[in-house]
Amino acid sequence: MLSNFTAAVLLAFALFTCFYINQICTHNTRLVRSVHATQNKTTAHERLVSADPVRAQSSVVETTRVKLKTTNETDTSRDDKCTIAPESRFDCGRDKLLSQTECEERGCCYAPLPGSAGPPWCFYPSLYPGYKMGPFTPTTRGQAATLTRDTPSYLPRDISTLQLEVIQEAAGCLRLTLKDPSSQRYEVQLPVDVPPNRSDAQDALYTAEYQSEPFGFVVRRKSNGRVIMNTTVAPLLYADQYLQLSTALASSLVSGLGEHYTPLVLDLNWTSLTLWNRDMAPHADANLYGSHPFYMVQEEDGLAHGVFLLNSNAIEVMLQPTPALTWVAIGGILDMLIFLGPDPQSVVRQYLQVIGYPMMPPYWSLGFHLCRWGYTTANTTRHVAQRMHDAKFPMDVQWNDLDYAEKRRVFTFDRWRFADLPEMVQEFHKRGMKYILILDPGISSTSPPGTYPPFDDGVKRDVFIKNATGHILIGKVWPGPTAFPDFTNPETRLWWEDCIRGFHSKVPVDGLWIDMNEPSSFVQGSVEGCPDTDLENPPFTPRVIGGQLNSKTLCMSAQQKLSTHYNLHNMYGLTEASATHSALMKIRGKRPFVLSRSSFPGIGRFSGVWTGDVRSDWEQLRYSIPAVLQFSLFGVPLVGADICGFEGNTSEELCVRWMQLGAFYPFMRNHNDKPNAPQEPYVFGQKAQAAMRSALNLRYSLLPFLYTLFHHAHSSAETVARPLFMEFPSDPNSQTIDRQFLWGSSLLISPVLEQGAVELAAYLPPGTWYSLHDGRPFYSKGQYLLLSAPLDTINVHVREGHIIPQQEPALTTTASRRNPFFLTAALSAGGWARGDLFWDDGESLDTFETGNYCYIIFTAGQSQVVSDPIRLNGALDGLVLGGLRVFGVPSPPLYVLANGDKVRDFTYRTDTKVLTVSGLALPMTKGFTVQWAL
């Protein structure tokens, strides 16, 4: 036996050794962390190495090796590696629930937090083993490096070698892809190529650094050194059906990752968002109709950046209060684009340069639309449109739900109830109205052979999705058993166009409403079920409604031309929208109108979107605003919610408030479900009708302004309905507001969203804001003001320095487009303002691209308003300026001149300081000057 003295010496030596090793590990760990927190102080021998994102020169990656966890490591070192603040833990058991033993077998830390529902109990230690990065080598697009891992991860079918490619797409856009070099995996091919304007590294708005082992990268904003992505916080995992990447976030102000029932700024308190398109009425904690793997982060100082994961597989995104985020995709590759802004609007523009700028909608589509499931006959539909007209409600488009179809089969119409549907549509057209009906993708498969051409012809042309055995997959939708077109097949697009052309030759619809295109099915997978495979039951399934990927949709093993439905499901609506847009363009020769329920990045090029089956209640009214604003970020400006609600009975007050808010949705449609009480505007009391009529007339008067906003969205990726933080990024009070919103940069909409309210606290960002109603000024330092809001009122304010082009409203846009224009000029403190008008025939294709349009700039200053026609094409011929309102005129004018001639019809209100000039008839095609003498 050893003497007590010898034992004590050995024990002390052992403790000292453990302490020394622990200090080395701790020092290295801190070195990594300190690099993250300091600006560009990385040197070659540290764990993070900097790599030039453009210049294709080999970069040697050197590392200071840190001894990683082994089974005989001391408890002290283990405890240190596991000493991580609960909010900074990254879940090691994301793929399944683990016991303590299973957790520790993975080399992870186990530290229960009883009573805390958020942080994981099993989490990664610092510097968890992962991939090792080799040196960079040049590629045609940037540079590449190989990642390898010595031992497999805990995931099935782990991929041990990866290829990293780093591409500087533009000065403000960095792209990183991680692929399996030995096996071709499914990759999303968007129809838009990123513009090849790759710039020199010196111009880049970012720097990128790489940790070689375990692999991770850090992206900083070059201007201030702020870390905007840091993936070294948790390991990269890459298996056949499980791809995981975590990053720290620059702030807790994160928006995007739709489509979900959430506020505009997401809750980071251990929340999970699943991206998997599903026919599901909007409610909390559910995957809804669309998937948009894009988020924007508001940084400090008014800066912002965005991140897009180009992946169409099922994705779960975990948000935690670190702040941090973890992506888990169950297929495809990791293809990540980082947009540096530097401001929020630039982030959206950079994102849209990748996914495509939105289409230009026809002018009439910005009018009011009316729909209901339950207009059971053509005469019922006619009667609705007539009652709207008789009650003097502006309306442009009458819709029909599936009531029109024979046995609910698309491309047919019922020969009894809708026998004169073609004549009804012609009647609408003669009255200056348009007509739209629903078109579901499911094609009835049970009609007797030779009686239903869409199915018979589709079988001959091999256009339908197949099951795993190569037979047509049959699901079940409204007409019963149905087949589903495969829109990734070029032949299907031609067949779809032929079907639409044949139907349009009988019923000349003006647009198509593509519903049920997640795709939705009333049976799980197919009428025959689905095979028991890893596609149907992957090792990890994100949290989806129904618990399985094939719940209420097709089998994941279903075969499409491009790949399996497992890979393509989230893109079904996008591919159908593209095919429908193309067909309508060729058949009608005019600007198409398509409205889709399902969505994926890029759908704004082809379609508008509505937010699905919202419920008639006040909460859903409130949540419709962030829903609309999110789609603005996603490049889908033509968006709205079903006004007054689709599910359940509305109330008169709710419907009035919803019509007022809906007057400022970019897309305005009242839609109702079959069993509910009617909610057409004319069914309510006279006071309610007057309030709704007022809201509709206000919208119609603003359509020239709204149309101009859509032009800027189409031509330069600006937003139409705009969150306050995008226009006022440096205003901390604007960061999370989603009960108010802007149209463009100049109109602030503050709706009533609470039952019984007759006033509301509205936030006015710093500056002068004028009531659009009467020009009353509000001088704000960035504060909430209590505004009167009786039932007949929605508060709208014009921002100083802006001119709004308007037009006298009418019952249709066909009529209103012929009416006199008028201007509302909101002067700044210095007496200046500016505005513009884009105008064309409202429906021709590519008017901006071919120069076939008018564009006028309006400026106010030095006591005059001047118009400057920059481009003219005849579209404004015969149209005149009938008057203008000038807000903020400091004193009564002595006289007013229009093009040098004295004007008799003008008034000035000393209480509001508003000058109103009327009785003008100045041609819009010629420059004009209206001046006043003070």
Instruction: Please report the pLDDT score of residue 300 as a whole number.
Output: 85
Could you read off the pLDDT of 285-315 as tens digits, one per residue?
A: 999 999 999 999 999 899 999 999 999 999 9
Given a contact cutoff of 8 angstroms between Cβ atoms, the answer to whether 799 and 862 are in contact is no
Please compute the mean of the pLDDT values over residues 48-72 and round it to a whole number. Answer: 37
Instruction: Provide the 8-state DSSP code for 514.
Output: E
Q: Which residues contact 850 (CB under 8 A, 6 or more apart)?
A: none
Distance CA 339, CA 305 (A): 5
* Secondary structure, 3-state, 79-115: HHHCCCCHHHCCECCCCCCCCHHHHHHCCCEECCCCC
Burial of 55 (0-12, 13-18, 19+ CB in 10 A): middle
Distance CA 342, CA 326 (A): 23
Instruction: Provide the 8-state DSSP code for 67.
Output: P
Distance CA 462, CA 716 (A): 40
Percent of the chain with pLDDT over 90: 89
Could you read off the pLDDT of 643-656 as tens digits, one per residue?
A: 999 999 999 999 99
Given a contact cutoff of 8 angstroms between Cβ atoms, the answer to whether 704 and 807 are in contact is yes
Instruction: Provide the terminal-to-terminal Cα distance of the chain, rounded to the nearest Å.
Output: 109
Given a contact cutoff of 8 angstroms between Cβ atoms, the answer to whether 227 and 42 are in contact is no
Could you read off the pLDDT of 613-623 as tens digits, one per residue?
A: 999 999 999 99
Largest CA distance in the chain: 118
Given a contact cutoff of 8 angstroms between Cβ atoms, the answer to whether 411 and 488 are in contact is no
Residue of 601, 86, 90, 36 lying closest to 325 (CA atoms):
90
Let me know how long the chain is.
934
Instruction: Please report the pLDDT score of residue 198 as a whole number.
Output: 52
Is 70 exceeded by the pLDDT of residue 184?
yes
Record the tokens describing residue 688, joined without a space.
Answer: 């309610």
How confident is residue 41, by pLDDT bands cut at 50, 70 and 90? very low
Q: Distance of alpha carbon 549 from its chain centroid, rounded? A: 23
Is 70 exceeded by the pLDDT of residue 60?
no
No. of helices (H) and no. of strands (E), the chain: 17, 52
Write down the residue that tokens 């166009």 correspond to. Answer: 497
Is 50 exceeded by the pLDDT of residue 61?
no
- In 138-294, where does DSSP find H-type helix? none
Given a contact cutoff of 8 angstroms between Cβ atoms, the answer to whether 595 and 514 are in contact is yes
Distance CA 295, CA 634 (A): 9
Could you read off the pLDDT of 121-163 as tens digits, one per residue?
A: 999 999 999 999 999 999 999 999 999 999 999 999 999 999 9
Which amino acids are annotated catalytic? 515, 518
The partner residues of 864 in beta bridges, in order of sequence, read 931
Could you read off the pLDDT of 857-867 as tens digits, one per residue?
A: 999 999 999 99
Distance CA 803, CA 208 (A): 43
Residue of 425, 595, 618, 632 lying closest to 517 (CA atoms):
595
Could you read off the pLDDT of 422-472 as tens digits, one per residue?
A: 999 999 999 999 999 999 999 999 999 999 999 999 999 999 999 999 999
Please compute the mean of the pLDDT values over residues 697-716 and round it to a whole number. Answer: 99
Instruction: Please report the pLDDT score of residue 202 as a whole number.
Output: 72
Is 70 exceeded by the pLDDT of residue 15?
no
Distance CA 261, CA 677 (A): 25
Burial of 846 (0-12, 13-18, 19+ CB in 10 A): exposed
Q: Is the dihedral of CA 73, 77, 83, 89 positive or negative?
A: negative
Burial of 249 (0-12, 13-18, 19+ CB in 10 A): buried
Could you read off the pLDDT of 791-823 as tens digits, one per residue?
A: 999 999 999 999 999 999 999 999 999 999 999
Distance CA 266, CA 262 (A): 7
